[in-house]
């Protein structure tokens, strides 16, 4: 059994966990992060990509609104390559109550969120596909964010300060003795071997799975899993984030991100963060509500549907998840449960991940009897090179890069403009173990064909560079196609049905992958 010693062990490779790792490393701690899958595999990689201004919470959750606008400004400064400054509109449709507007404006004023009403003609000039029956429009500093790139950038920064991050390391048990947690036993899922990591402090940043990790120490952390279903349109019908000006509800936000636009989201309690399904009514509701913002939306080509699970901390029983604050909760288990060496951070938003990490590491410092100032808000994150990813996160840069290098003939994924060079460089890092990992790195298969053409090309490259095993390469391809199929299944009609049928024929006939799509 491999044995490792460190000062702080972080469990969870999402936004919060990677942020905690970076903060720890920058404060001089020896730190290790473990994640049972790839970075941003969980909730961080399954949200709509919104950089919140806080306006969405200005009325019902004012503390979260204040945190969002403050962190919004910090993230724009330290990670401009991960953020697109789309701006945001809050609009009043014929289905919305105008009596909410004064509350909205007052909430924004108290939270310090800049808000400006603009004429409807100006709104339609910027976004001509919006409903012309909208009566009022307010501009706020919302934006779009690339959560995959941000997680990688945080880990790259942490590694530069001496930290370590191990993906595909599943925590199997915590080391607990005499009321003290002193590390964890993990399984390296790639090598199928146990790894024991001993630490002075363990940070539970497992998000929707934080309750399971706490249970390994015999503790009860009431995490309520709220499933949010999102639907992607296959092109950017908008270039501005658009919200309904009303209390948060289903299908009331559209976020332009990369080459698509995302409609979100439902909020449905689920018992298991690993076992949930997208129901037909959820997609139907997204399209019906989205059509109130974008008339004709149900007739547009819908790319796919997916869902993420919000880690909501339900300290008290409640009937509706939307009534639970989106603020974060930091649990000191020494004070709360008499168990030394473990802290849990849960809740929050992607926009506030850096603040959550700062609060967590402040507590770690106090528990370890040291004082070290946070600097994550002062130092910019590195741009992790992904071919064209060194430039700022904005539409048009990938195409300009491909054309500038005359690399059209080198495209592996035409939809997302992923070149052979980008794919090979991602594989060469040694951290790509599947095509799904490659998807998070270079957006492989995230466009209209949903992997129909790029998946077998990428499989061939991985086979040549990595596996050299025909059966294993075929399995990697089949797994990827199956994962893409899950998101296609709820929206297979119209153009996307035709695309899906073509993908199936390619698998079954050209490549004899008879069980490729089910």
Encode 23-74 in three state secondary structure: HHHHCCCCEEEEECCCCCCCHHHCCCCEECCCHHHCCCCHHHHHHHHHHHHH
State mean pLDDT over 394-404: 79
The predicted pLDDT at position 515 comes to: 52
Structure-token pair, residue 414: 């035409």
Neighbouring residues of 273: CB distance < 8 A, sequence distance ≥ 6: 42, 208, 209, 225, 309, 311
Of 390, 399, 439, which is closest to residue 417 (Cα–Cα)?
399
pLDDT band at residue 496, thresholds of 50, 70 and 90? confident
Neighbouring residues of 303: CB distance < 8 A, sequence distance ≥ 6: 232, 233, 234, 260, 447, 448, 450, 491, 496
Tell me which of 313 and 360 has the higher pLDDT: 360
How far apart (Å, rounded) are the C-alpha atoms in residues 74 and 141? 13
Structure-token pair, residue 421: 């060079």
Choose the weakest-confidence range: 19-23, 293-297, 367-371, 498-502. 498-502
2-34 exposure pattern, b = at least 16 Cβ within 10 A, e = fewer? eeeebebbbbbbbbbbbbbbbbbbbbebebbbb
pLDDT band at residue 369, thresholds of 50, 70 and 90? very high
State mean pLDDT over 240-259: 95
pLDDT band at residue 144, thresholds of 50, 70 and 90? very high
The predicted pLDDT at position 207 comes to: 95
pLDDT band at residue 390, thresholds of 50, 70 and 90? very low
* Segment 429-479, tens digit of pLDDT: 888 889 999 999 999 999 888 998 899 999 999 999 876 788 888 888 889
Tell me which of 431 and 41 has the higher pLDDT: 41
The predicted pLDDT at position 388 comes to: 46
State mean pLDDT over 46-72: 96
How far apart (Å, rounded) are the C-alpha atoms in residues 163 and 155? 8
The predicted pLDDT at position 467 comes to: 65
Structure-token pair, residue 3: 């044995």
Beta carbons of 223 and 321 less than 8 angstroms apart: no
Peptide bond into 127 cis (omega under 30): no
% of the chain at pLDDT higher than 70: 94
pLDDT band at residue 503, thresholds of 50, 70 and 90? confident
Neighbouring residues of 39: CB distance < 8 A, sequence distance ≥ 6: 13, 14, 18, 148, 151, 152, 155, 165, 167, 440
Count, in order, helices (H) and strands (E) of the chain: 15, 22
The predicted pLDDT at position 431 comes to: 84
How far apart (Å, rounded) are the C-alpha atoms in residues 137 and 121? 10
State mean pLDDT over 33-60: 95
β-strand 31-35 against 164-167: which pairing, if any?
Answer: parallel
pTM score of the predicted model: 0.92
How far apart (Å, rounded) are the C-alpha atoms in residues 378 and 133? 44
State mean pLDDT over 219-223: 94
Beta carbons of 80 and 129 less than 8 angstroms apart: no
Tell me which of 475 and 154 has the higher pLDDT: 154
The predicted pLDDT at position 448 comes to: 86
* Segment 334-347, tens digit of pLDDT: 999 999 999 999 99
* Segment 71-109, tens digit of pLDDT: 999 999 999 999 999 999 999 999 999 999 999 999 999
User: What phi and psi, each to the nearest 5 degrees, are found at residue 249?
Assistant: -150, -170
Choose the weakest-confidence range: 152-156, 229-233, 350-354, 427-431. 427-431
First-residue to last-residue Cα distance in the chain: 39
CB atoms within 10 A of CB 322: 15
Beta carbons of 210 and 223 less than 8 angstroms apart: yes
Domains of the chain, first to last: 2-43+148-222+326-367 (3.50.50.60), 81-143+224-313 (3.30.9.10), 397-510 (no CATH)
pLDDT band at residue 117, thresholds of 50, 70 and 90? very high
Beta carbons of 511 and 453 less than 8 angstroms apart: no
């Amino acid at each position: 059994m491999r044995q490792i010693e460190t000062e702080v062990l972080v469990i969870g490779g999402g936004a919060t966990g990677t942020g905690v790792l970076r903060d720890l490393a920058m404060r001089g701690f020896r730190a290790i992060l473990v994640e049972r899958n790839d970075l941003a595999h969980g909730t961080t990689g399954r949200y709509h990509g919104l950089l919140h201004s806080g306006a969405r919470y200005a009325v019902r959750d004012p503390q979260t609104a204040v945190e969002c606008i403050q962190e919004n400004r910090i993230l724009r400064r330290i990670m401009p390559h991960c953020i697109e400054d789309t701006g945001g509109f809050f609009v009043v449709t014929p289905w919305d109550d105008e009596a909410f507007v004064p509350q909205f404006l007052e909430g924004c004023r108290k939270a310090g969120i800049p808000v400006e009403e603009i004429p409807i003609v100006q709104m339609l000039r910027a976004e001509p596909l919006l409903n012309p029956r909208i009566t009022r429009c307010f501009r706020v500093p919302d934006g779009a964010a690339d959560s995959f790139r941000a997680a990688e950038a945080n880990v790259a920064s942490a590694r530069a300060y001496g930290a370590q991050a191990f993906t595909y390391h599943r925590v199997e048990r915590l080391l607990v003795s005499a009321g003290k947690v002193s590390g964890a036993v993990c399984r390296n899922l790639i090598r199928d071997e146990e790894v024991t990591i001993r630490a002075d402090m363990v940070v539970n940043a497992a998000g929707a799975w934080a309750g399971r990790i706490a249970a390994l120490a015999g503790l009860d952390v009431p995490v309520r899993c709220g499933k949010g279903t999102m639907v992607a349109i296959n092109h950017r019908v908008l270039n501005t984030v658009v919200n309904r000006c009303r209390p948060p509800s289903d299908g009331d936000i559209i976020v332009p991100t990369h080459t698509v636009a995302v409609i979100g989201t439902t909020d449905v309690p689920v018992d298991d963060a690993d076992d949930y399904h997208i129901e037909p009514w959820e997609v139907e509701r997204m399209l019906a509500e989205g059509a109130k913002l974008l008339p004709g939306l149900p007739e547009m080509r819908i790319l796919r549907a997916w869902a993420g699970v919000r880690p909501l901390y339900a300290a008290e029983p409640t009937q509706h998840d939307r009534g639970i604050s989106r603020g974060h909760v930091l649990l000191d288990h020494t004070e709360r449960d008499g168990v030394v060496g473990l802290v849990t951070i849960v809740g929050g938003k992607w926009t506030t991940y850096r603040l959550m990490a700062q609060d967590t590491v402040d507590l770690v410092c106090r528990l370890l009897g040291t004082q070290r100032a946070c600097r994550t808000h002062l130092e910019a994150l590195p741009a992790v090179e992904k071919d064209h990813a060194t430039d700022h996160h904005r539409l048009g840069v990938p195409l300009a890069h491909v054309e500038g290098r005359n690399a059209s003939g080198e495209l592996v994924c035409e939809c997302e403009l992923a070149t052979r060079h980008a794919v090979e460089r991602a594989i060469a890092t040694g951290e790509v173990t599947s095509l799904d990992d490659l998807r998070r790195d270079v957006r492989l298969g995230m466009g209209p064909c949903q992997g129909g053409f790029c998946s077998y090309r990428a499989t061939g490259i991985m086979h040549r560079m990595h596996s050299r095993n025909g059966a294993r390469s075929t399995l990697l391809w089949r797994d990827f196609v199956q994962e893409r199929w899950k998101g296609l299944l709820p929206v297979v009609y119209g153009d996307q049905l035709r695309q899906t049928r073509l993908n199936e024929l390619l698998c079954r006939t050209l490549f004899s992958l008879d069980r490729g799509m089910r």
